[in-house]
Amino acid sequence: MIVCDTHCHFFSAAFFRTLSKELPTTQDQDQVAAAADTLAETLGWQAPGTDKALADRWAGELDRHHVARAMFIASVPGDEASVAAAAARHPGRFVGAFMFNPTAPETEARIDRAFGELNLTTACLFPAMHGYSMDDEAVAAVCRSAERHRRAVFVHCGLLSVGVRKKLGLPSRFDLRKGDPLAVAAIAVRYPGVPFVIPHFGAGLFREALMAADVAPNIVLDTSSSNAWIKFTPGLTLREVFARALDCVGPSRLLFGTDSSFFPRGWHAAIFESQQAILADLGANESDQQLVFGDNFSRVFAGE
């Protein structure tokens, strides 16, 4: 089976510098730089080094696990260059995605540069994190650019918990009311040529994610992470989630992902093993499994 991972985070040096600016111990640029150098160690992670070095490390890690391709997400706004460098270093292997706050200044110029000059494939929107609604005109500007460049839009819905922020004691003042899959459907139907990705099966809003996908056939669901949100629905299992998703949207609209992010853990093989076992137990044939674990990735993110 050809395995492609649609949801990995690229925790670059710029990512750590951005986080360090929020720490109360950093007051000036020198302190920010010093904190960035030690932040990974504080978290118990290994420092990323340069963007090229981190890209090479991920390439080796994916080789070790026989993963053909992966999408890496620049995980703070403004870090598009790091993941663009990684994708350029390993073309055909990596595709680049980027967290994007459309309410920041110069939305259209920034999004066009990311999709065009930097050749990134996916704008990742976090409305609950950045405090906007999906019917904001700035979101429409992102969608228009995605339509022009034939790119994808990822929208985080439901439960939003950023582990690194918790570990560092940083506040997470998120408005979960903004992350409604039904709001994604409302804009997705206006841009039928743009793939809209809802990660983690809607992260607790599974029913709404299925309803949204039923209304808008250009919505696809990613399967990434441990999907611990199932604890909010008594009796729900990940096996039942897959069964309902296959029944409602079919295998051609599910994208496998792990939510891998840092070293030394590396690629989260246990997520793959668990999800593959579930699909096999549900009786999914080899063709359907190949759609979920690889072929859909190529169609959605690489224009194939």
Span 221-265, pLDDT tens digits: 999 999 999 999 999 999 999 999 999 999 999 999 999 999 999
Q: What pLDDT, on a 0 to 100 scale, did the predictor assign at position 22?
A: 84
Q: Own/partner pairs for 138-141, CB < 8 Å, 24+ apart?
A: 138/102, 138/103, 138/107, 139/102, 139/187, 140/187, 140/190, 141/102, 141/107, 141/108, 141/111
Closest Cα to residue 11, out of 231, 159, 162?
162
**How far apart, in whole angstroms, are the C-alpha atoms of residue 251 and residue 293?**
10
In the chain, % of residues over pLDDT 70 = 96
Span 126-165, pLDDT tens digits: 999 999 999 999 999 999 999 999 999 999 999 998 888 8
Paired residues of 212 in beta bridges: none
Residue ranges covered by each domain of the chain: 4-301
User: Tokens 């560092």 map to which residue?
Assistant: 168
**How far apart, in whole angstroms, are the C-alpha atoms of residue 153 and residue 76?**
16
Residue 295 has pLDDT above 80, yes or no: yes
Asked if residue 180 lies in contact with residue 152, where contact means CB atoms within 8 angstroms, the answer is no
**How far apart, in whole angstroms, are the C-alpha atoms of residue 53 and residue 75?**
18
Does the domain at residues 4-301 carry the CATH identifier 3.40.50.10380? no
Asked if residue 141 lies in contact with residue 115, where contact means CB atoms within 8 angstroms, the answer is no
Span 54-93, pLDDT tens digits: 999 999 999 999 999 999 999 999 999 999 999 999 999 9
| Other CB atoms within 10 A of residue 229 CB | 20
Residue 8 has pLDDT above 70, yes or no: yes
